[in-house]
Structure 1
Amino acid sequence: MEKKILVIDAGTTGIRAIIYNHRCHILSQAYTEFPNYTPSPDRVEQDPNEIWDATKKMVNQALKALELRLNDISCIGITNQRATTVLWDKETGEAAPRAIVWQDTRTAKRAEELSSVWGDEVYSRTGWPIAPVYSSLSLEWMLNDSAALRKKADEGKLAFGTVDSWIIYRLTGGASHVISASNASVTGSYDLINNQWYEEWLSALNLPLSLFPEVCDDSGVIAFTDENVIGGSIPICGVIADQHAALFAQGCTEPGMIKCTHGTGTFLDMLIGDQPIIEPSSGVCCQIAWRKDGVTHYALEGYAGCTGSAVQWLRDGLKIIDSSKESESVAQKVPDNGDVYFVPALTGLSAPYWDSFARGALLGITPGTKRSHVVRATLEGIVYSVRDFIEEMENISGYDVKSISVDGGASQNDLLVQFQADQLGVEVVRPRNVEATSLGAALMAGLGSTMWKNEHEAFAVHRNKTTFSPQMSEEERTELYRKWKVAVERARGWSKV
């Protein structure tokens, strides 16, 4: 019987369970969304129990489609949204409050306050500027908001983790409280220099070390599922954060190789080798790409937190498109943006600005502006957001970007990908399968279970690709980007006005 890998892909808006064979072909998959709660403009929350319930249902659906039981699976891989903060009771196993999602900005003022004292020190150790995306700040907020939770935390009765930690905890019936190295490095709590939880910083935030999970490799035998919970005892052999999974799936295994994922947000990651490069003045993040066989590989990252979700806003908020996919055909109805610029800072600006108080801005509207101009400006805003930090990544890494691999749902939009090639002046390569996060988790799990002997064998499957080459003059590229920079300045600090 051929070996099979079950991947649990726990994204920001939903859960996907996918079964791959040993050639990385998808045999079955099941997907469902779960609610995101926004009780106020600065808050984004999820119910961990709803995430777990969705996980169980999708796993069962994916298995049922092939008439399989869990014990027919060779190993499990997990990939997940990063930095979302989950807190649960060690005694009951129940989630405490709702999880605070990585897009949440309730800790913006706290981040600003801490930056004036701890900014460069924390950046130089964690690889990230102090920002609301920090799980450590969300965790501090949770404990300060509830005397009961604070008491339990001080007594060592609570457990913290990101979504990977929570799913593993539930899959193993509470036997494992772990986090993968890639996920740990994006919590704003991990010391990249000393390769351990950043105890001095956590102490300053009054966060007991007993809250924190054990850090494990991203590939290897990490834990076993509990048969009483999920219907079988299967090794979990790959656990890797979503962007890092996509980087690996795109075959970016040599320093200087780069990928760009267009999802809820847009993330540009460059592998840099086995030593971190941390440059606080750049606004670019450094993180663990993955840890495998005890060897740590690092990556630089720039990201814009609200890009794909800005297109969703066109659909659900403005209601000027019926689906995200329709954005391409609507935008193609006009030859250009009509001098309209959209800064997708709906939840603030990330790299390289790190301005939690920025807000979305639509500029250049005239009586002749049509909905097509607005949609096109939104797609172009995604690309400009990437250009904002790619040059910084080149500067601090020493690598010149010649080609970028793209993935994620929005990468299927030809107009967006062509504009990315035009604005960045580089070749953009799109694989046939743009769902790279789940593939990366499958590869990590297969390698961790020794399904393949090495990376070369794992990557042996041929994948068709489409290449987009630059077609815009340098003069036009420069002028368009100049106006974008002006638009960004108009959007910055808006919620403080």
Structure 2
Amino acid sequence: MSEQMYVMAIDQGTTSTRAIIFDHDGQIVSNGQREHEQIFPRSGWVEHDPQEIWANVRKVVGEALVEAEINRHQLAAVGITNQRETAVVWDKTTGEPVYNAIVWQDTRTQKICDRLAGDEGADKYKERVGLPLATYFAGPKVAWILENVDGAKEKAEAGDLLMGTIDTWLLWNMTGGTNGGIHVTDVTNASRTMLMNIDTLDWNEEIAADMGIPMSMLPEIRSSSEVYGKGRRQGLLIDTPIAGILGDQQAATFGQACFEVGQAKNTYGTGNFMLINTGEDLIRSENGLLTTVAYKIGDNKPVYALEGSIAVTGSLVQWVRDNLGLISSAPEIEDLASQVDDNGGAYIVPAFSGLFAPHWESDARGVFVGLTRYINKNHIARAALEATAFQSREVLDAMEADAEKAGVELSELKVDGGMVANELLMQFQADILGVPVIRPKVIETTALGAAYAAGIAVGFWNGEQDVIDNWAEDKRWEPTMDEETRERYIRLWVKAVERTRGWMDEDVDALYG
């Protein structure tokens, strides 16, 4: 009797790294998880240690295999999903990063973005890459490293440095590192660099030159589902096919089986990320959204999506816990918030790294408005949760405005991520959106999507239909709020957002920079 086979996903996220093993039904068999240090050298700067992340990958792989009581021979394939725009630059001869990974939340590249924009503005490259010039994306982060790390520019021009998003860094190490490591990324991650042509799926040499990034640094762009290589340096996965790569939000879209035009998901993690499938049609947003590649399976045509990216949602709960000390664990915020019927008129707009979609204003900063003596910690907890729902509504409005021209209409929203366990938030989300919100039985859809992509590549699953068949609904929240009340809430939220704008200036830099 042959051994039962499984697929592993390595889910390298903003705060932790996980290895999750799935069976053929898409059910979780085991997992391992390790947090990594969040490094904040200056206000607005966020870094990770790439070597710590790589070490954690090796540890969590072992933990997952031990818990499942299997070995690598029972893994049909491994998929990788990752925090997308976080950028790493390393020496291909030594394997050492020349600087810490600069995280997607980091805002230090604003001056580089302004310089690149020139008189043409933030949309200078948008027609070609689907993205506005913003600190969010990986290309300007690499430019910053080359401009600010001693000797980096010279090494890059000599062909000694490689760059990539976290998927590329992990794949290179897993397949041998300095001993023949494979330097590859997939279309979803490449679409978040500001360096890939969104229509032809290849690197744009002119934009790379503008940013001072030699083409020799760039990884090869491949599909999201194919065998890239086999494990070598990582002893626990030696000879195991590494066969799927998807950026975390595209992986969640895949894991949620959003394969039809108009199907959408919203992931509630460190930030929130809503994607709507637009099929093989490339829709260029006119309302502050991003045009991105949703996935590409082998030789099939790419499938595109519109995305709204929100920087701070789950991390706002962490802030309430760690910076304010109002709770000792994240789940406690629901207990606090449920003790009041509403936010008492208090609104939190967590523009800690500026406003992301649909505004894209890097000089904004967070505000807390509507405070009175009546407000207590319960109202603050509720306002923190509601901020997630309000920001998602802003993205949905922009998404519907863009998608309308393509005949795409959202009738329900699939949700996933850690915050979907919060039932108060999910009900308020349905109320403020005015559409049903649906949670799947397996909420680890990011890791699941990467596993599906890898498994499809090696024949473990028979394409998208197996993903659809495995998907199952756990709970549905129907909107209960009347339209007049909903619109009043939204108008007050818009007023609060206005108060965030234009906060950053020379005085702030001089005092706190």
TM-score (norm 1): 0.97
Q: Which whole-Å CA distance do the structure 1 matches of 2:212 and 2:36 have between them?
A: 32
Q: Within the alignment, does 1:276 sit opposite 2:282 as a pair? A: yes
Alignment of 1:66-465 (within 5 A): 66-115=68-117, 116-117=119-120, 119-174=122-177, 175-226=181-232, 229-230=235-236, 232-279=238-285, 281-294=286-299, 295-398=301-404, 399-461=408-470, 463-465=472-474
Q: Which whole-Å CA distance do the structure 1 matches of 2:83 and 2:331 have between them?
A: 22
Q: Which whole-Å CA distance do the structure 2 matches of 1:445 and 1:427 have between them?
A: 31
**SS at 1:131 equivalent:** coil
Partner of residue 24, structure 2: 22
Long gaps (5+) in structure 1: none
| Residues 175 and 234, structure 2, Cα contact 8 Å, conserved in 1 | no
Structure 1 319/76 Cα, relative in aligned 2: closer, same or farther at 3 Å?
same
Residue deviations 1:398-446 (CA, integer Å, cap 9, x gap): 2221100000001111111111111110011111221110111111111
Alpha-carbon shift at residue 283 of structure 1 (Å): 0.8
| Residues 304 and 385, structure 1, Cα contact 8 Å, conserved in 2 | yes
Structure 1 228/495 Cα, relative in aligned 2: closer, same or farther at 3 Å?
closer
One-letter amino acid of the counterpart of residue 433, structure 1:
V
**SS at 1:379 equivalent:** helix
**SS at 2:243 equivalent:** strand
One-letter amino acid of the counterpart of residue 122, structure 1:
Y
Partner of residue 495, structure 1: 504
Once structures 1 and 2 are overlaid, which stretch shifts more, 103-112 or 201-210?
103-112
| Residues 172 and 229, structure 1, Cα contact 8 Å, conserved in 2 | no
Partner of residue 67, structure 2: 65
Q: Which whole-Å CA distance do the structure 2 matches of 1:119 and 1:305 have between them?
A: 19
Partner of residue 511, structure 2: none
Long gaps (5+) in structure 2: 509-513
**SS at 2:26 equivalent:** coil
| Residues 315 and 322, structure 1, Cα contact 8 Å, conserved in 2 | yes
Structure 1 68/227 Cα, relative in aligned 2: closer, same or farther at 3 Å?
farther
Residue deviations 1:434-460 (CA, integer Å, cap 9, x gap): 111011111111111111222213432
Alpha-carbon shift at residue 365 of structure 1 (Å): 0.8
Structure 1 70/480 Cα, relative in aligned 2: closer, same or farther at 3 Å?
same
One-letter amino acid of the counterpart of residue 68, structure 1:
I
Q: Which whole-Å CA distance do the structure 2 matches of 1:45 and 1:228 have between them?
A: 25
Residue deviations 1:64-92 (CA, integer Å, cap 9, x gap): 22333223311101111111001111111
**SS at 1:491 equivalent:** coil
User: How many residues are matched?
Assistant: 496
RMSD value over aligned CA atoms?
1.3
Once structures 1 and 2 are overlaid, which stretch shifts more, 148-157 or 110-119?
110-119
**SS at 1:493 equivalent:** coil
Q: Which whole-Å CA distance do the structure 1 matches of 2:474 and 2:303 have between them?
A: 26
**SS at 2:79 equivalent:** strand
**SS at 1:292 equivalent:** coil
| Residues 7 and 76, structure 2, Cα contact 8 Å, conserved in 1 | yes
One-letter amino acid of the counterpart of residue 351, structure 1:
A
Alpha-carbon shift at residue 353 of structure 1 (Å): 0.8
Residue deviations 1:19-63 (CA, integer Å, cap 9, x gap): 111221211111110001001111000000000000000001111
**SS at 1:310 equivalent:** helix
One-letter amino acid of the counterpart of residue 138, structure 1:
K
| Residues 17 and 34, structure 2, Cα contact 8 Å, conserved in 1 | yes
Q: Which whole-Å CA distance do the structure 1 matches of 2:358 and 2:126 have between them?
A: 13
| Residues 344 and 382, structure 1, Cα contact 8 Å, conserved in 2 | no
One-letter amino acid of the counterpart of residue 17, structure 1:
A
Q: Which whole-Å CA distance do the structure 2 matches of 1:85 and 1:454 have between them?
A: 31
Structure 1 248/231 Cα, relative in aligned 2: closer, same or farther at 3 Å?
closer
Structure 1 228/392 Cα, relative in aligned 2: closer, same or farther at 3 Å?
closer
Once structures 1 and 2 are overlaid, which stretch shifts more, 333-342 or 432-441?
432-441
Partner of residue 9, structure 1: 11
**SS at 2:504 equivalent:** helix
| Residues 321 and 329, structure 2, Cα contact 8 Å, conserved in 1 | yes
Residue deviations 1:258-277 (CA, integer Å, cap 9, x gap): 00000000011000011211
| Residues 99 and 149, structure 2, Cα contact 8 Å, conserved in 1 | no
Structure 1 245/467 Cα, relative in aligned 2: closer, same or farther at 3 Å?
same
| Residues 32 and 64, structure 2, Cα contact 8 Å, conserved in 1 | yes
Q: Which whole-Å CA distance do the structure 1 matches of 2:257 and 2:237 have between them?
A: 34
Residue deviations 1:312-340 (CA, integer Å, cap 9, x gap): 00000001111111111110011000000
| Residues 61 and 236, structure 2, Cα contact 8 Å, conserved in 1 | no
Once structures 1 and 2 are overlaid, which stretch shifts more, 434-443 or 113-122?
113-122
Q: Which whole-Å CA distance do the structure 2 matches of 1:164 and 1:231 have between them?
A: 16
Q: Which whole-Å CA distance do the structure 1 matches of 2:193 and 2:489 have between them?
A: 35
**SS at 2:472 equivalent:** coil
Alpha-carbon shift at residue 228 of structure 1 (Å): 6.3
| Residues 227 and 233, structure 1, Cα contact 8 Å, conserved in 2 | no
| Residues 257 and 464, structure 2, Cα contact 8 Å, conserved in 1 | no
Q: Which whole-Å CA distance do the structure 2 matches of 1:76 and 1:215 have between them?
A: 18
Q: Which whole-Å CA distance do the structure 2 matches of 1:110 and 1:481 have between them?
A: 34
Q: Which whole-Å CA distance do the structure 2 matches of 1:118 and 1:372 have between them?
A: 43
One-letter amino acid of the counterpart of residue 164, structure 1:
D
| Residues 220 and 292, structure 1, Cα contact 8 Å, conserved in 2 | yes
Q: Which whole-Å CA distance do the structure 1 matches of 2:298 and 2:145 have between them?
A: 35
**SS at 1:460 equivalent:** helix
